[in-house]
Structure 1
Amino acid sequence: MYNQILELDCPFSFEHLYRHPGPLIPYDRGSTRKQVAIIGGGIAGLVSAYELSQLNHQVTLLEADSRLGGRIKTHYFSDGTYGELGAMRVPASHGCTLHYIDQFKLPKRPFINYNPAAFYYLRGKKTRLDNYQELFSIYNLTPDEKEYPGVIYDQLLSELINTFSEQEKWELFAPTFTSDKVRKYDNLTVTDFFQNHLSPDAFQLLGHATGAIHYEKVSLLNGLIDFFAWHQVEQYQLIGGMETLVKALVQRISGTIQTEAKVTNIVMTDKGVRVGWNKLDKQETAEFDYIICTVPTTALAQINFDPILPNKQQEAINNLGYCSSSKTILHCTARPWEFAENIYGGGSFTDLNIEKCRYPCDNAQLDTNNFSQPHFVAKNKDISYQPSVLTAAYRWEDNSRKFVTLDESNKTDLTLEEISQIHPNIKQYTDDVVHSIWDEDNNPGSGSYAYFAPGDREKYQPFLGQPYPINNPRVFFAGEHLGINHASIQGAIQTALAATIDILENS
């Protein structure tokens, strides 16, 4: 799907870029139904399996973990409350994701990204987001830098995007570059860009207030795509948890689904392709017409291909970077952030190890009496005194890697100590703590999502998803790492649809 982008000669539009192709029947050219193995039970694998099974192809899905969903991971507590340990929101522009949410009639609500009543806790000072001016006394800022950090962030990146032609905007999402300007920005990091435009203290303030400080290894182009695709767009969360999408797909897949089935080898044969996997310490094999491999590159690198993958493809698989991230959720007997501090949805930002926390949106509604800026009030004040889940920490990169090194009790102690800087009485309402560290979860593949370092995009993207073997493709690739807009359900689904269409057109 991304391959045709450079041919587009029209104004840039996410609606066009991210739209679902519709029913896949027109692509299904073969008369005989095919045997297809799907490797990986994350969202990409599930969408591929769903679409193929809807067309009556014989699907076998193999997932190494004991659970399905990959990086969509909702934790359900015994009282029915839940928190998201993985993906937590869907932008309104992500047409492929919303296609399935709407098709399966999954209920959703607005995800509140910004709430002025939430807090900054920076350099030991705590203040509401809408009282950001109180931070200026503890940072050495120029007069122009004494502005809301989010506004400066928006202005700098919006001004940069506005220098791109329509063709160059499309090229941000194309597998290869033709523009020297696009290539130039791919060779800088996000932090290079902001440090070149801000004083050291302004960068520290903006970096912690927006998360940009953790993008020191990520190419500016990768960061610009994140901003362009996610920022100032209405977002949703699924009522009942993001895993409701996973469950809806699983229920509708007609075929075989095996969990705890770790694929070890893929061998080309005269008739098709043979797959070997370990299931309960027993080696199993089966032959298929085609394969869609949706696992992250860290897991893909552990599969033996015969004949071996092309050198450039193997190099890309071995060297693609992954961001570290982790979350801690607290099960709370009541919501002191609501009844004591009037925070309904949104997030607080810190320079502590917890980095940022996120508040549940289920009891939030926009105050229709206040139109000057978004202001949220309770839907029902009684709900504030009922159990809920607080995302107490959402750590990236260095903060996440430091957290990994702690033992379980120290992880909990550190999180509670730091979240208490923002909400001093939170401990007395906390009765359960759950940590999720993607670096430690090796079945989806270490790390939380892929990223391109400077220069990686041109070096790796053309080869990562190259069908195998090139002259007679039997294995097609999909997954979050192939979606140029990384860290999104949309990217994973879009690559799954592209791989599925490739099979339909080849069969």
Structure 2
Amino acid sequence: MSTSPPSGFSCGVLVPGSRAGGPGCSRSAAVHAGAAALLPVRDERAHTAPYCSLAAYSREAVYSRGAVEPFTAVEPPRSAEPVSGPSGQVRPVEPRTQHRPVPAPRSRCGENPARSRRVTAPGHPVRGHGPTLNPSVPAFDGGYGRGAAARTMADKQSPASLFPGPGKAWHRRSPVTVSPREIDGPDGAVAAPKKVTVIGAGIAGLVAAYELERLGHQVQIIEGSQEVGGRIHTHHFAGRGRNGPFAELGAMRIPSAHRLTLHYIAELGLQNQVHEFRTLFSDDAAYLATSGGYLRVREAHRTLVAEFAARLPHRNYRDDTLLFGAWLDASIRAIAPRHFCAGLSGDTGVELLDFVDRVDVTPYRCGGAENRIDLHAFFADHPRARSICPPRLERFLDDVLDETSSTIVRLRGGMEALPRRLAARIRGRITTGQEVVGIHVRDESVLLRLRQGTKVTSLDCDYVVCTIPFPVLRRMRLTGFDQEKLDIVRQTAYWGATKLAFHCREPFWEKDGISGGASFTGGHVRQTYYPPAEGDPALGAVLLASYSIGPDADALSRLSEAERVAVVTRELSVIHPELRRPGMVLGVAGRDWGTHRWSRGAATVRWGQEAVLREAERREAARPQRGLHFAGEHCSSKPAWIEGAIESAIDVAHGIEWYEPRTARRVLATTRPARSNGPV
């Protein structure tokens, strides 16, 4: 089938013509290992952290981002007998020669820590602590995973095989197992629990609260919207009086190299819900927009190679090299907005193709007819190829490889399970429907101005973790911030994203031979996903009709909802005319993250920045203002991913744990004995 793609479609991204070299700036896997080591090894019998590694870290060591040394695996003693802690919690007895005993978490203001708490928003139920904690911690390799040359049949197993089975456990690398609550401060002082207010109940806020509670601190969460999860949003269509099929209108996938995210999935007992996520080009029957029209993925290679070769300078390359370049070019065009693609012309240069031409690409051929290239595996096996690309495109290339990888996973039943399980584990109060409208940083505290309905109140906080996206934060009244912090809040760039899902009477695409994955349809639609049908087939199926980011999303956001649906239907019905059948579309749901009240953008995108600038912006975004600390994907090395939000939450928990307020320094200084000038 060959039909003309929508107007505005552009191709021709990978146009070699200049040499771009220099060493790559790939981040060491030790960064992820260092962040993961901040997570205490769980005791499945109590909500406590008997094996905590935060004590071993200096602030400088963690924030050096890559200077963390390899750690030694530590496993809780299996032979220890359980004893009761001071709050009725159960903890293991540890050998005196190894560690000091760790007390159970302190109760908060006379409250029983084991008691369930109430979410204060109207209509929210009373929640308990959720299921028993799972101590399994998956330990994945850094980088892009295993390469094609070393792949075995184990690599082809289902995503659930990424997690240990019953009776097995991952051994997390952790330097020591001493609780920070047990570490003596200056003059023998013992740090008291801190009272922390978290703004935002997205993944960053929930993980920060979860980890701070495990460290013994008192935490409350304030959320402006009426739901938890932030930019994880699973929409359920109605179906005959019960929940019908669902659509992921927010985050929908997890690369297998994102070890922190997979750690929490395992710890929250969700590993049995992990299933394969089929992405772009993973189904041979899906469609791909080319300059000659829409083609099936299995048929597109000849056209892609011909178009790519026509743009090359006069050089002779092997067929495999041209196939590699053609599919890399197609992947870039499918993921990046059109304006970004237009600015990439010539950036990859001939040096990458010269390198590929000296490599045997045969092991990386994939697809039913082996006419595609597994780019993810190729770059994993050949880091030199990655370093050839310009440093400013490093983050972009990472995302291209992650999004087209064959090792992406999802949560069966919806990604919303992750924030909901986290919220159920938090003992502190979660208040929804309370909007923060002002933040005032003072020497001794942070004052929040809160609005609930028409009523505005003030809340004086010892410590605050702000996870609000910067486009929302810069609309508030902010005082006590230094100029550099105000600049990063105002200048950090976010891209929008739009998703539009159709509730269809039936999965008509299956009759067209498409069993899943996604099509690159170009135009305003950009990407179309075919989620697997789960639940009762009589309730229909969901088609994620359009997913676009950046300026492509902005173009759709300027339309009304009705106009948006009409445009997407018109463009997509060229390859799926079934959409025009009466009664085929039962319902429509969408989310425009660029104009959404609580985000004002989908994510921070630092494509096109070199590593030094990216890291400088990340550090400044995360830098605290006295007792006000910051977390969120915009404060991480992996913006736009759940992994980044979790990474920043762990960092902020560490920062608050070791933060020493000015009052404490002054008190300690005045209590030290004065120096005597007389004889001893």
**TM-score, L = length of structure 1:** 0.76
How many Å separate the matches in 2 of 1:154 and 1:325? 24
State the 1:53 CA deviation.
3.0
State the 1:56 CA deviation.
4.5
2:290 matches 1:110: no
Residue in structure 2 matched with residue 186 of structure 1 by the alignment: none
Residue in structure 2 matched with residue 464 of structure 1 by the alignment: 621
Of 334, 343, 346, the match for 1:195: 346
Q: Describe how 1:79-94 pairs up with structure 2 within 5 A.
A: 79=239, 80=243, 81-94=245-258
Residue in structure 1 matched with residue 219 of structure 2 by the alignment: 59
> Alpha carbon RMSD of aligned pairs, Å?
3.6
Letter in 1 for 2:220: T
Change (3 A) 1:259 1:45: same
Residue in structure 2 matched with residue 440 of structure 1 by the alignment: 595
Residue in structure 2 matched with residue 403 of structure 1 by the alignment: 556
State the 1:115 CA deviation.
1.7
1:88 is paired with a residue whose SS is coil
State the 1:146 CA deviation.
7.5
2:591 matches 1:431: no
2:233/2:250 contact within 8 Å kept: yes
Of 269, 278, 281, the match for 2:451: 278
Letter in 2 for 1:431: L
Residue in structure 1 matched with residue 629 of structure 2 by the alignment: 476
- Structure 1, residues 87-107: CA drift from partner, whole Å, max 9, x if none? 000111111111121112221
Residue in structure 1 matched with residue 643 of structure 2 by the alignment: 490
Structure of larger gyration radius: 2
Of 281, 289, 301, the match for 1:133: 301
Letter in 2 for 1:322: Y
How many Å separate the matches in 2 of 1:303 and 1:150? 51
1:399 is paired with a residue whose SS is helix
- Structure 1, residues 264-306: CA drift from partner, whole Å, max 9, x if none? 2333445432222111121122222211111111122233343
Q: Describe how 1:168-179 pairs up with structure 2 within 5 A.
A: none
1:42/1:69 contact within 8 Å kept: yes
2:464/2:629 contact within 8 Å kept: yes
1:261/1:279 contact within 8 Å kept: yes
1:331 is paired with a residue whose SS is strand
How many Å separate the matches in 2 of 1:356 and 1:316? 32
Give the structure with the higher percent helix: 1
| Identity, % of aligned positions | 27
How many Å separate the matches in 1 of 2:412 and 2:140? 25
1:301/1:317 contact within 8 Å kept: yes
How many Å separate the matches in 2 of 1:424 and 1:190? 29
- Structure 1, residues 321-353: CA drift from partner, whole Å, max 9, x if none? 111211110001110111x11211211012221
How many Å separate the matches in 2 of 1:108 and 1:140? 37
How many Å separate the matches in 2 of 1:16 and 1:198? 27
2:238 is paired with a residue whose SS is coil
State the 1:228 CA deviation.
5.7
Change (3 A) 1:196 1:445: closer
State the 1:487 CA deviation.
0.9
Residue in structure 2 matched with residue 419 of structure 1 by the alignment: 572
1:40/1:61 contact within 8 Å kept: yes
How many Å separate the matches in 1 of 2:263 and 2:542? 28
Residue in structure 1 matched with residue 476 of structure 2 by the alignment: 303
Of 35, 54, 64, the match for 1:4: 64
Change (3 A) 1:489 1:385: same
1:25/1:55 contact within 8 Å kept: no
Letter in 2 for 1:195: G
1:247 is paired with a residue whose SS is helix
How many Å separate the matches in 2 of 1:362 and 1:149? 37
Residue in structure 2 matched with residue 357 of structure 1 by the alignment: 528
How many Å separate the matches in 1 of 2:306 and 2:574? 18
2:231 is paired with a residue whose SS is coil
Q: What runs of 5+ residues in structure 2 fail to find an aligned partner? A: 1-34, 36-61, 71-138, 145-170, 184-189, 311-315, 332-339, 351-371, 377-390, 661-680
State the 1:500 CA deviation.
0.8
Change (3 A) 1:57 1:6: closer
How many Å separate the matches in 2 of 1:289 and 1:387? 51
Letter in 2 for 1:38: V
1:503 is paired with a residue whose SS is helix
How many Å separate the matches in 2 of 1:464 and 1:40? 16
The more displaced of 392-401 and 226-235 is 226-235
Change (3 A) 1:154 1:501: farther
2:603/2:639 contact within 8 Å kept: no
Residue in structure 2 matched with residue 173 of structure 1 by the alignment: none
1:267/1:305 contact within 8 Å kept: yes
How many Å separate the matches in 2 of 1:20 and 1:288? 35
The more displaced of 92-101 and 26-35 is 26-35
Q: What runs of 5+ residues in structure 1 fail to find an aligned partner? A: 159-188, 200-205, 211-217, 364-381
How many Å separate the matches in 2 of 1:480 and 1:329? 25
State the 1:151 CA deviation.
3.2
2:290/2:304 contact within 8 Å kept: no
2:498 matches 1:321: no
State the 1:483 CA deviation.
1.5
**Matched positions, count:** 437
2:656 matches 1:503: yes
The more displaced of 50-59 and 495-504 is 50-59
2:536 matches 1:347: no
How many Å separate the matches in 1 of 2:434 and 2:290? 46
Change (3 A) 1:98 1:356: same
The more displaced of 447-456 and 52-61 is 447-456
Q: Describe how 1:149-164 pairs up with structure 2 within 5 A.
A: 151-152=324-325
Letter in 2 for 1:116: D
Letter in 2 for 1:242: M
State the 1:445 CA deviation.
3.0
State the 1:238 CA deviation.
0.7
State the 1:233 CA deviation.
5.5
2:212/2:653 contact within 8 Å kept: yes
Residue in structure 2 matched with residue 388 of structure 1 by the alignment: 541
Change (3 A) 1:32 1:462: closer
Residue in structure 1 matched with residue 382 of structure 2 by the alignment: none
1:320/1:452 contact within 8 Å kept: no
How many Å separate the matches in 2 of 1:320 and 1:353? 26
How many Å separate the matches in 2 of 1:129 and 1:224? 22
State the 1:490 CA deviation.
0.4
1:347/1:358 contact within 8 Å kept: yes
Q: Describe how 1:221-236 pairs up with structure 2 within 5 A.
A: 221-227=394-400, 232=405, 234-236=407-409
State the 1:48 CA deviation.
1.1
State the 1:354 CA deviation.
0.2
1:451 is paired with a residue whose SS is coil
Residue in structure 2 matched with residue 267 of structure 1 by the alignment: 440
Of 96, 110, 113, the match for 2:260: 96
